[in-house]
Amino acid sequence: MSENRIKGEFTCVVCPNGCFIEAEYLEGGSEGPKLLSLAGNQCKRGETWVRQEIETPMRTISTSVPVHGGDFLLASVRTAEPIPLAKVQDVMAEIRKTSLNAPLSIGQVVLKNPAGTETEIIVTRNVAAAG
C-alpha cells in the first residue's frame, strides 16, 4: 500500500468558534494516518483536535436507558469521557443491554469501561421513584 498525501478541510468542534482548518496529512502508511501541517486554527486546541481527528477521532455519545419504577420511562446517559469514534457502535450495543431501577441521580455510573473504552457511562437525568 502506498502513502497518499491528502489535503483535508476540518471544522473544529472543540468550541463554538468552529474554526475552519485546512490540514495536510499522510494516509496509507504503516503507522496509520499522520498529520503533516495545518492552518486556520485560532488556538492550540484546534491543532490538537485536528491531529486527533486525523489520527484517532474521539467522540462523546448520548443515549437513553429504560428505567423501571421511575417517574420517567427513560434515563438519559452519556460517556463521561470521549471514546474512539470507531468504538461508538460497540459501546451503543453494550448500553442497549442495560436497564436501570429508579431512583437515579445525575452523575450515577451505569457502566464502566464499555467495550474496552476508558470511560464510564453516567446518568444525566434525575429520575425519582414513581409515587
- Rounded to the nearest whole angstrom, what is the least distance from the CB of residue 69 to another protein in the complex? 15
Q: Are 80 and 111 in contact (CB under 8 A)?
A: no
Between CA 52 and CA 16 the distance in angstroms is 18
131 touches another protein (CB under 8 A): no
92 touches another protein (CB under 8 A): yes
- Rounded to the nearest whole angstrom, what is the least distance from the CB of residue 2 to another protein in the complex? 25
Q: Residues 7-36 vs another protein: string with x where CB under 8 A?
A: ---xxxx-xxxxxx----------------
Choice from 73, 109, 129, 130 touching another protein (CB under 8 A): 73
Choice from 22, 72, 108, 115 touching another protein (CB under 8 A): 72
Choice from 29, 66, 69, 116 touching another protein (CB under 8 A): 66
- 115: Cβ contacts below 8 Å, ≥ 6 apart: 87, 90, 91, 93, 94
Whose cell is 421513584? That residue is 129
Q: How far is CA 119 from the centre of its chain?
A: 10
98 touches another protein (CB under 8 A): no
Residue type, 4: N
- Rounded to the nearest whole angstrom, what is the least distance from the CB of residue 89 to another protein in the complex? 8
Question: Exposed e or buried b for every residue in 74-89, given b needs 16+ CB within 10 A?
Answer: ebebbbeeebbeebbe
116 touches another protein (CB under 8 A): no
Determine the interface stretch with another protein among 24-32, 69-77, 111-119 (rule: CB under 8 A): 69-77
> Of 53, 58, 101, whose CA–CA distance to 79 is shortest?
58
